Amino acid sequence: MSKIIIGLAGEMASGKGTVSKYLEEKYGAKVYRFSDTLRNILDILHIECNRANLSNLSSIIRQNFGEDAISKAIAESVKIDNNEVLVVDGARRPEDLKYLSEIVGFKLVFVEADMEKRYERIVKRGENMDDNIKTFEDFKKDHKREAEFQARELRNISDAVIDNNGDQENLYRQADGLIK
């Protein structure tokens, strides 16, 4: 069987991580996250892991090592990975797809949800240090960051769209459809 490689894009808290975790648990998918590279660097430097620092570090890497530096590293890891199902979570820009889209079996999936639902999710999960104290106005300001703006545009070039405005069972059914 050839590899199934699912790239997940979407705005923050749209459900990309939930889809990744589900595919990992049900199908044994290996998950690569764009943000993990950034989080690891911030942890090593003992710098708070919040959206502003993640965004700043991403900009520094892209400006100094190329817009596609992280994408290239992830694509190389995906190429040599022997798992049958792989998930690349968190593409934000067209450049993030440059190398991944060249790999046989790669499909881009856009996960979308309404802003209010995404705000509720981000506060509840508290993935970044500042998420659980974020106001809705702060959340809306986060959407003005360059990465969020470009993430929305990836919907137009995706191979499939998952609507995550329903319940979790509906989300899982759509995720199962990706594998089938």
pLDDT at 9 over 70: yes
C-alpha–C-alpha distance, residues 158 and 147, integer Å? 17
Give the mean model confidence (pLDDT) for residues 143-148.
67
- Type of residue at 53: N
Residue 154: what pLDDT? Answer: 95
Average pLDDT, the chain: 91
Model confidence pLDDT, tens digit, residues 34-44: 989 999 999 99
Measured between alpha carbons, how far is 144 from 5 in angstroms, rounded to an integer?
Answer: 30
Instruction: Answer whether residue 1 shows pLDDT above 60.
Output: no
- Tokens coding 179: 């594998």
The torsion region of residue 49 among left (phi > 0), alpha (psi -120 to 50) and beta comes to beta
d(C-alpha 135, C-alpha 123), whole Å: 9
Q: What is the pLDDT of residues 48-107, one digit of tens each?
A: 998 889 989 999 999 999 999 999 999 999 999 999 999 999 998 899 999 999 999 999
The pTM (predicted TM-score) of the whole model is 0.86
Structure-model confidence comparison of residues 161 and 120, the more confident one? 161
Q: Among positive and negative, which fits the CA dihedral 61, 63, 66, 67?
A: positive
Measure the CA dihedral 82/87/91/96, to 10°. 20
Tell me if 85 sits within 8 A of 2, measured CB to CB.
Answer: no
Number of Cβ within 10 Å of residue 11's Cβ equals 23
Q: Could you give the CA distance from residue 118 to residue 109 in angstroms, rounded to a whole number? A: 18
Instruction: Give the model confidence (pLDDT) of 114-139 as tens digits.
Output: 999 999 888 887 666 666 777 888 88
pLDDT computed for residue 133 by the predictor: 75
Tell me how far apart the alpha carbons of residues 60 and 173 are, in angstroms, rounded to a whole number. Answer: 38
CATH number of 4-179: 3.40.50.300
Q: What is the model's pLDDT at position 128?
A: 67
